[in-house]
Amino acid sequence: MIETTVEDGIATVRLASPATANALTPAAFAELTAQIAAVQQPDSGARVLVLTGSCKVFSAGANMDVLGDTDAASLERAITGALLPLQQVLHEGRLPTVAAVNGTAVGGAVGLALLCDIVVAARSARFSLAFARLGLVPDTGLTMTLPRLVGEARARALLMTGADVSAEEAAAMGMIHQCIDDETFVAETRTLAERLARLPQGTHRLTRQAIVAGRLNTLQVQMEYEARLQAGRVLSDEFRAAMAAFAARRKP
């Protein structure tokens, strides 16, 4: 079950199946994708998206049991059919995304969190990279996202040993943006979301795209790409409004 609310420009999408520790079935992935796609629409009123879990768990990860016994080709289609549309609505959407990891995240749920733009976690949260312990390989993009965040040597060790990583350790190694005390986690996450919601909206998707492009471009090509994006933003109504507001604040 996925619960979505929009309040003061903040869309909160909550994994809300506590009886199964918010495990993600193909149907749950499809519902999550649909609800995220809905709040990405301009008429939703949302200016930022926060993805979180219910109770004391973020998610127990993907529930493969519901797929049953089938052939490898069918399993591959089921997995990609569940994950690729979700990645697309997160990375191609207009909203900045915050993963608020309120509790334990297991396996694919870690990958889901790392698909978001910014990841924060409660101090009691843990990231369980349990694939190797189950005889599985990492998915949800983890073999790409984790090495880029923490370095290949560390990612290789974490994934191949099936490590559990505390929120504090995750922040120290650059896996997530911030570890926040449990007592202030909800309030500080909301403050972060409010800050993002107040910012001009047209730049979030472009900034995300520029960062992704920079993984492959030379410095010269990347600077040319940035200049092309920047030229469009300088001529935008959002930039002009922001500059007018800045000038008004500086007036004596």
**pLDDT single digits (tens) 104-143:** 999 999 999 999 999 999 999 999 999 999 999 999 999 9
Could you tell me which residues come within 8 angstroms of residue 12 by beta carbon, excluding any fewer than 6 positions away? 4, 5, 6, 50, 52
- pLDDT of amino acid 236: 87
Q: Quick one: angle between helices 142-150 and 152-161, nearest 10?
A: 130
**What percent of the chain shows pLDDT beyond 90?**
75
CATH superfamily of the 2-198 domain: 2-enoyl-CoA Hydratase; Chain A, domain 1 (3.90.226.10)
* Extended strands (E) in 54-88: 57-59
Q: Which of 52-61, 178-187, 205-214, 230-239 tops mean pLDDT? A: 178-187
Strands 164-166 and 126-128: antiparallel
Where in the chain are the domains?
A: 2-198, 201-250
* Verdict on whether the full-model pTM lies above 0.85: yes
Task: Using the structure block, give the residue that is written with the tokens 């559990």.
Answer: 164
How long a stretch of residues is the chain? 252
Could you tell me which residues come within 8 angstroms of residue 140 by beta carbon, excluding any fewer than 6 positions away? 62, 83, 107, 108, 110, 111, 112, 114, 115
CB 23 within 8 A of CB 172: no
Strands 178-180 and 118-122: parallel
Average pLDDT over residues 26-34: 93
